[in-house]
């Protein structure tokens, strides 16, 4: 990846930090290699169980003409987070599914970097591209159904693992 693209991605992601300068410094020269980023301002994060999230990430990669949004794997916690546009009135329903919005935080390595169990499956591109909620919802439902059939037990939740409700 070209240095300018990496820098653009890092700037975009660091903007979600309370101190973007300190965030970039930690990514480049720090001891932890991760930064604390606020959800709910520029993006929300939909957290799903790892097995489901990895299948969804693969499915989204296969869709032509789709600009995929950032997707972060936390192998230690065994989950995948998809960055979505902030939608304060949206509720996602499913076993092991939770939406991180305003007032919540994630830890993340620099784009295109891995730090321990954290790595970007799809790093931010620096342009603000996010996952489309409607596409993600359909992919979650499809993959939850496939997991249900292949593993011989019910899907993780009603409405698969991605049903959304708008109050």
Q: How does pLDDT run across 54-103, given as a tens digit for each residue? A: 999 999 999 877 889 999 999 999 999 999 999 877 888 888 899 999 99
Q: What is the pTM of this model?
A: 0.88
**pLDDT value of position 153:** 56
Q: Is the pLDDT of residue 159 over 50?
A: no
* Rounded Cα–Cα distance for residues 153 and 148 (Å): 5
């Amino acid at each position: 990846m070209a240095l300018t693209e990496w820098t653009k991605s890092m700037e975009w992601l660091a903007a979600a930090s309370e101190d973007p300068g300190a965030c970039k410094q930690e990514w480049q020269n720090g001891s932890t290699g991760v930064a604390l980023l606020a959800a709910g301002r520029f993006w929300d994060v939909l957290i799903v169980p790892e097995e489901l999230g990895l299948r969804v990430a693969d499915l989204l990669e296969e869709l032509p003409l789709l600009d995929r949004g950032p997707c972060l794997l936390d192998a230690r916690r065994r989950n995948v987070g998809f960055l979505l546009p902030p939608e304060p009135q949206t509720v996602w329903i499913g076993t092991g599914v939770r939406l991180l919005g305003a007032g919540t935080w994630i830890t993340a390595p620099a784009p295109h970097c891995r730090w321990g169990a954290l790595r970007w499956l799809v790093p931010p591109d620096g342009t603000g591209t996010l996952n489309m909620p409607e596409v993600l919802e359909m992919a979650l439902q499809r993959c939850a159904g496939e997991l249900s059939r292949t593993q011989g037990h019910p899907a993780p939740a009603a409405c698969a693992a991605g049903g959304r409700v708008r109050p």
